[in-house]
Amino acid sequence: MGSDCESSVVLVTGGTGLVGQAIKYVVENGSGRKNEKWIFGSSKDADLTDRASTEAMFLKYKPTHVIHLAAKVGGLFGNLSANLEFLRKNIAINDNVLAMAHKTGVQNVVSCLSTCIFPDKTTYPINETMVHNGPPHDSNYGYSYAKRLIDILNRGYNNEHGRNYTSIIPTNVFGPEDNFNIQQGHVLPGLIHKIYLAKLEGKPFTVWGTGKPRRQFIYSRDLARLIIWVLREYKETEPIILSVGEEDEVSIKEAAEQVAIAMDFKEGFLFDTDKADGQYKKTADNTKLRKYLPEFQFTPFPQALKETCDWFVENYQRARK
């Protein structure tokens, strides 16, 4: 990889998901290189919770590089309802993918953690050194501990086998091809879908919780460009936070207002405070990213939201919901 002329085969696990499809989009729109072959895998290629199925996929595609995105992913309410399943599936997927990458000689793997795995009781902003400092928020302990183990696996493969296995830590991601399921998905696709339905009925929509929690959101296509940079240029084993700045953190209420504008919805919204708020905030520090890429331009939030809302409306029939 990098600027040399050697050809490479990049396998993206979870290639049919929100982030995988964003990588496909940017690769096809200027970020791909002639000497790279990209494969976007899905659960149809292999059930990555199964060792033999995972091995067969690695033997079939013979990747030289892996971007490992496949995971059981859900929003706050999906996690609350199935912590044990999130833990077990993700532990199995991550162990199988890294073991088979190593066994088949893959030198570079970039795997995906998340800012929601950070300690619940912490100081802010949170940085890369703090991943293991204390228990995660109770609402998603299963997903969090499974994800934290990726960092430990990377340490082992690097220390004992000299592999370049690393990880990224994105904040809440949104964009085209998201999971717009209201019960299971994340807040922005959930709100977009709710507003779409409220528009049909001419009624206000409901924001779950108090609207007070704060989040940093990253557009999937920005994240995709950053992940490709990590694969090509980032040499550290330790994770790197991929996030907008602290100043771009917004409350859920502000996010709901922005989604309403992007959807051209004027009926207003209500709060259902019987629903959980989840972690109040997980403000991430992007100093490390900015040291490497001081000039990187994030798409402005209103523009990224508009592109996402337009995609959902245009692709309503086939969108995951």
List, by residue number, the catalytic residues.
143
**Per CB under 6 A, does 93 bind ligand NAP?**
yes
With contacts defined by CB under 6 A, name the span among 65-73, 102-110, 231-239, 289-297 that binds ligand NAP: 65-73
Q: How far is CA 24 from the centre of its chain?
A: 15
For residue 34, the minimal CB distance to ligand NAP (Å) is 26
**Per CB under 6 A, does 286 bind ligand NAP?**
no
Q: How far is CA 158 from the centre of its chain?
A: 23
Decide if 309 contacts 255 (C-beta within 8 A). no
Output 96 or 171, the one with its CB closest to ligand GDP.
Answer: 171
Token pair of 287, please? 């100093």
x/- map, 105-144, ligand NAP, by CB under 6 A: -------x-x------------------------------
Q: Which of residues 144, 167, 172, 299 is near ligand NAP by CB under 6 A?
A: 172
For residue 6, the minimal CB distance to ligand NAP (Å) is 27
Q: How far apart are CA 188 and CA 115, in angstroms?
A: 16
Q: What element of type H or E holds 206?
A: strand 205-208
Q: How far apart are CA 57 and CA 45, in angstroms?
A: 7
Q: How far apart are CA 275 and CA 214, in angstroms?
A: 16
Residues contacting residue 143 through CB under 8 Å, at least 6 positions apart: 72, 73, 74, 79, 83, 86, 87, 90, 114, 116, 117
Decide if 215 contacts 255 (C-beta within 8 A). yes
Binding footprint of ligand GDP on the chain (CB under 6 A): 75-77, 116, 172, 186-187, 190-191, 194, 207-209, 213, 215, 252, 275-279
Q: Which of residues 20, 125, 136, 278 is near ligand NAP by CB under 6 A?
A: 20
Residue 125 binding: pick among ligand GDP, ligand NAP, none (C-beta 5-8 Å cut-off by kind): none
Q: How far apart are CA 178 and CA 51, in angstroms?
A: 27
**Per CB under 6 A, does 42 bind ligand NAP?**
yes
Residues that bind ligand NAP (CB under 6 A): 14-20, 42-44, 46-49, 69-73, 93, 112, 114, 170, 172-173, 179, 186
